[in-house]
């Protein structure tokens, strides 16, 4: 372990710059790509199912590999794995930009996610190894705040690049930044590793990757392919079996990915249950909110990106004071009131129709969601890390994986809910309209595309207007279902807090990583030495 860095020393500043650039770029890409989804859908002739895989391919590899990412650095060297992760991330970005089909884009997004899974855990592991105990908190605080600030630029940067250049520009953006970061890391960042790590739990790693992939594939493909499709059934069944075997074998591993003591800690389990529910709700809500703003409200990608900035600004500036409040009064109050405010905000978003006004129908809900998250982030982080010091890395990696899995499931499950509601409403609407049977069939055949349904050129003006209105109203119907389901999940998070969380974690350990947790999901990985 290499220590002795100071935040004010030259070496300390180089270490912080390298870790900030890498993690901040990854977080920025996560928010920027979402804004480009409608344009990608049109450019590559993708269905809503395909769009789900653009997001879920990266999330799947990220969630599957996060738990091993930190362990690889501990075993083989954090600097080495950090550079390896950055190289994979940049390669995935370049290949994504050059993709000529939606299938290629999905494949290379999975590669980019694998790079992020190696890169993100190492950023804080390197800080842990380089900075003394009395400097570590300040260093992590700077990393968290600046990374969150970079991530908050994602919607705006993504929207601006899409509108003025192309969706491919978003994927080229991180390449020069990552190349610069690799150079800085190679020259200035010292190598460190944990000599006590003898071997990695490869059996558990393979099982959890197979399990998450199988379940996610089944959930995403089921609505389009049918739940009786043999591949869907195989994915869900095989994935479930792999997860069961993972849990079974982990109990017998001397160095498991998830220590048994972690699963017996009431506060940690409660915090992770809340994480699953809240990030399930948030990721689903924002996925369909972006589609609503662009496909139904007809906002440009840039304006749609700006539309989310009030929420991110609120989280960035209020999470710190809210964390100080939690230190004074305990975590339980904010763990309850935060999800309740989130639920109200999500329900508020369901009010607007197909011709909604941003300031009346969207901004109030976004403000409430921002306030709810600002109240929730710090105590959730604190509780998720309320374990013995030697298990803090495992607790962090586990929570990261839970939050990513929540995002993975959100788009899949809420996607099924929205498509089902959209299709049913669209069928009811046009079946009683003046559209001819052939015209109705042409519209319904595209129902998986939601608001991106293309009206055939053979429609006369009256039929075109009728079909466009039916598509928009049907999307709003499905969108309202997504918002209300999200609100219900947030309320369930409040209920879990009431039942399981009865106070602050022992010792009051807290790391100021709230901003990053709120924007990107998951607790920052702080690996033990």
Only one residue has tokens 């009051």, namely: 508
Only one residue has tokens 């055949």, namely: 445
Same domain, 405 and 529: yes
Same domain, 93 and 226: no
Of 292, 290, 381, 397, nearest to 331 (Cα)? 381
Whether residue 426 is contained in a domain is answered as: no
Same domain, 188 and 205: no
Residue pair 105/99 in contact (Cβ under 8 Å)? The answer is: yes
Domain of residue 356, CATH code: 1.20.1250.20
Phi and psi of 486, rounded to 5°?
-60, -40
Same domain, 395 and 489: yes
Residue pair 26/153 in contact (Cβ under 8 Å)? The answer is: no
Same domain, 298 and 347: yes
Whether residue 469 is contained in a domain is answered as: no
Whether residue 394 is contained in a domain is answered as: yes
Whether residue 75 is contained in a domain is answered as: yes
Whether residue 59 is contained in a domain is answered as: yes
- Which of 200, 229, 245 delimits the end of a domain? 200
Same domain, 142 and 231: no
Q: Across-strand partners of 5?
A: 131
d(CA 201, CA 196): 14
Same domain, 18 and 131: yes
Residue pair 37/290 in contact (Cβ under 8 Å)? The answer is: yes
The Cα-based distances of 108 to 406, 411, 479, 516 in angstroms read 22, 19, 29, 25
DSSP code for 523: -
Whether residue 323 is contained in a domain is answered as: yes
d(CA 304, CA 136): 38
The b/e string for 161-179 (b: 16+ C-beta within 10 A; e otherwise) is bbbeeebbbbbbbbbebbe
Q: What's the 3-state SS for 176-219?
A: HHHHHHHHHHHHHCCCCCCCCCCCCCHHHHHHHHHHHHHHHHHH
Whether residue 181 is contained in a domain is answered as: yes
Note the maximum CA span of the chain. 76
Contacts of 277 (CB under 8 A, 6+ apart): 339, 406, 489, 490, 492, 493, 496
Of 46, 31, 45, 129, nearest to 80 (Cα)? 129
Start-to-end CA span in the chain (Å): 7
Residue pair 488/343 in contact (Cβ under 8 Å)? The answer is: yes
Domain hosting 341: range is: 260-409+485-529
Same domain, 149 and 280: no
Same domain, 391 and 515: yes
Residue pair 484/349 in contact (Cβ under 8 Å)? The answer is: no
d(CA 342, CA 280): 12
Whether residue 467 is contained in a domain is answered as: no
For the chain, which ranges sit under pLDDT 70?
Answer: 1-7, 128, 132-149, 152, 194-198, 219-220, 223-224, 259, 320, 327, 378, 381, 385-397, 434, 436, 451, 502-529
The sign of the torsion formed by the CA atoms of 347, 351, 354, 356 equals: negative
Same domain, 176 and 268: no
Residue pair 276/63 in contact (Cβ under 8 Å)? The answer is: no
Q: Report the number of distinct structural domains present in the chain.
A: 3
Same domain, 271 and 317: yes
Same domain, 398 and 370: yes
């Amino acid at each position: 372990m290499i220590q002795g860095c100071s935040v004010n020393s030259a070496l300390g500043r180089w270490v912080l710059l390298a870790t900030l650039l890498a993690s901040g770029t990854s977080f920025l890409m996560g928010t920027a790509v979402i804004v480009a989804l409608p344009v990608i859908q049109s450019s590559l002739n993708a269905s809503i199912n395909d769009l789900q895989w653009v997001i879920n391919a990266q999330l799947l590899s990220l969630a599957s590999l996060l738990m091993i990412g930190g362990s690889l650095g501990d075993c083989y060297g954090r600097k080495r794995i950090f550079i390896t992760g950055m190289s994979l991330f940049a390669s995935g970005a370049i290949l994504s930009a050059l993709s000529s089909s939606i299938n290629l884009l999905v494949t290379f997004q999975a590669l980019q996610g694998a790079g992020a899974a190696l890169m993100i855990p190492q950023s804080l592991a390197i800080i842990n190894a380089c900075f003394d105990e009395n400097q570590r908190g300040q260093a992590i605080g700077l990393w968290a705040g600046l990374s969150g600030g970079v991530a908050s630029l994602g919607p705006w940067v993504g929207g601006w690049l899409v509108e003025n250049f192309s969706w491919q520009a978003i994927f080229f953006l991180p390449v020069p930044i990552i190349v610069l970061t690799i150079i800085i890391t190679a020259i200035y960042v010292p190598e460190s590793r944990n000599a006590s790590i003898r071997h990695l739990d490869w059996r558990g790693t393979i099982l959890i990757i197979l399990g998450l992939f199988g379940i996610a594939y089944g959930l995403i493909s089921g609505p389009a392919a049918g739940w009786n499709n043999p591949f869907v059934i195989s994915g869900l069944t095989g994935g479930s079996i792999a997860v069961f075997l993972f849990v079974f074998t982990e109990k017998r591993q001397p160095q498991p990915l998830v220590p048994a003591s972690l699963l017996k800690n009431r506060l940690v389990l409660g915090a992770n249950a809340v994480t699953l529910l809240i990030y399930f709700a948030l990721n689903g809500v924002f996925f369909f909110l972006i589609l609503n703003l662009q496909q139904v409200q007809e906002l440009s990608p840039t304006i749609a990106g700006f539309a989310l900035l009030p929420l991110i600004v609120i989280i960035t500036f209020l999470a710190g004071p809210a964390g100080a409040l939690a230190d004074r009064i305990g975590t339980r109050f904010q763990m309850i009131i935060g999800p309740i405010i989130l639920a109200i905000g999500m329900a508020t978003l369901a009010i607007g129709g197909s011709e909604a006004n941003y300031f009346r129908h969207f901004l109030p809900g976004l403000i409430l969601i921002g306030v709810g998250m600002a109240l929730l982030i710090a105590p959730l982080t604190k509780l998720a890390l309320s374990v013995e010091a030697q298990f803090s890395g495992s607790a962090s990696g586990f929570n990261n994986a839970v939050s990513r899995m929540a995002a993975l499931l959100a788009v899949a499950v809420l996607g099924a809910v929205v498509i089902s509601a959209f299709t049913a409403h669209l069928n009811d609407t046009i079946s009683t309209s003046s559209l001819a049977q052939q015209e109705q069939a042409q519209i319904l055949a595209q129902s998986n595309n939601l608001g991106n349904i293309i009206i055939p050129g053979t429609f006369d003006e009256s039929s075109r207007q009728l079909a466009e209105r039916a598509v928009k109203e049907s999307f709003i119907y499905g969108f309202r279902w997504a918002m209300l389901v999200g609100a219900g999940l947030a309320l369930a998070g409040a209920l879990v807090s009431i039942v399981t969380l009865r106070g602050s974690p022992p010792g009051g350990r807290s790391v100021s990583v709230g901003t990053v947790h709120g924007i990107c999901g998951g607790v920052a990985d702080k690996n033990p030495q």
